[in-house]
Amino acid sequence: MSHADSCRKTLMVFSLLLCCLLAVGCGPAKVPPSDSQQALTLVEKLMGQWKSGATVEELAKMTPPTYVSEDLWKKGVKLTDYKVVGEGEMLGPNVRFKISLKYSGKNGTFTERSFHYLVTTTPALTFFREEG
């Protein structure tokens, strides 16, 4: 990459950040907390859709859209069963759930693992696997 390309890229990133700051304003954004019961309902709906073969891309096109970040699902892993372990807990504006998944890989072997997921119900419907 030439020096001129590098400068253009830096200027473009800076301009984008400046536009975002101007659009958001200077004060901290106040995101309302998600509703824990609605979040649990969303988890159950999404797990059912995963089991039935729906894709993450299809969910983003629904009304309202649901944004999912789950690598196993994106890779086409077949969910065969799940269990929400315990109750969800508030974590900032999100509801955090521990979910035990039973799934089969492309080679037909079954695996059972638990993951934590962050679910939001406002301002958008989101379902993200917590990494780490």
CATH of the domain at 81: 3.10.450.50
Average pLDDT over residues 10-33: 52
In a shared domain, residues 43 and 21 = no
User: What pLDDT, on the 0 to 100 scale, is given for residue 6?
Assistant: 45
User: What pLDDT, on the 0 to 100 scale, is given for residue 107?
Assistant: 80
Tell me the residue type at 60: A
In a shared domain, residues 87 and 120 = yes
In a shared domain, residues 81 and 17 = no
The residue range of the domain holding 95 is 31-129
In a shared domain, residues 75 and 116 = yes
In a shared domain, residues 26 and 84 = no
Which residues, other chains included, contact 1 with Cβ-Cβ below 8 Å and sequence gap of 6+?
9
In a shared domain, residues 39 and 4 = no
Answer for the pair 68, 49: CB distance below 8 angstroms, yes or no: no
How many independent structural domains does the chain possess?
Answer: 2
Answer for the pair 96, 71: CB distance below 8 angstroms, yes or no: no
User: What pLDDT, on the 0 to 100 scale, is given for residue 15?
Assistant: 36
In a shared domain, residues 56 and 81 = yes
Average pLDDT over residues 10-26: 41
In a shared domain, residues 54 and 84 = yes
Q: Give the global pTM.
A: 0.76
In a shared domain, residues 36 and 46 = yes
Burial of 79 from C-beta contacts in 10 A (0-12 / 13-18 / 19+) = buried
